[in-house]
Amino acid sequence: AQSVAQPEDQVNVAEGNPLTVKCTYSVSGNPYLFWYVQYPNRGLQFLLKYITGDNLVKGSYGFEAEFNKSQTSFHLKKPSALVSDSALYFCAVRVPTNTGGFKTIFGAGTRLFVKA
């Protein structure tokens, strides 16, 4: 079965320190991977995506993610965390459906707390 796993329910980091939010995937074929962020009582916002090419993808708000095919991972990173980065982060993979379209499978989410 195709799936996305976020092994950490919560990540705590001090402001100014680097942060990593982990994601692993299991898909058949090429993976098309995404990261989204959700602030309280809001919809999700797109951060970045990996489709092909360079394994290091840069996105919004200083975030980046590293695609590792051998480890089937797509970890989200930021060199220096801000308190305002505190939010719920979702990893997602886009897969074909049996009706000719595509759907997105989301991980369960990781809550990031950045302490001042």
Which residues, numbered 28-87, are part of the site for another protein (CB under 8 A)? 32, 34, 36, 41-46, 49, 51
Minimum Å gap between C-beta 106 and another protein is: 4
Q: How far is the CB of 14 from another protein (least distance, A)?
A: 25
Say how far apart CA 46 and CA 14 lie, in whole Å: 24
Applying CB under 8 A, the span of 13-21, 67-75, 76-84, 94-102 interacting with another protein comes to 94-102
DSSP secondary structure of 58-115: E-GGG-EEEEETTTTEEEEEESS--GGG-EEEEEEEEEE-TTS-EEEEE---EEEEEE
List of residues contacting another protein (CB under 8 A): 9, 32, 34, 36, 41-46, 49, 51, 90, 94-97, 99, 101-104, 106-109
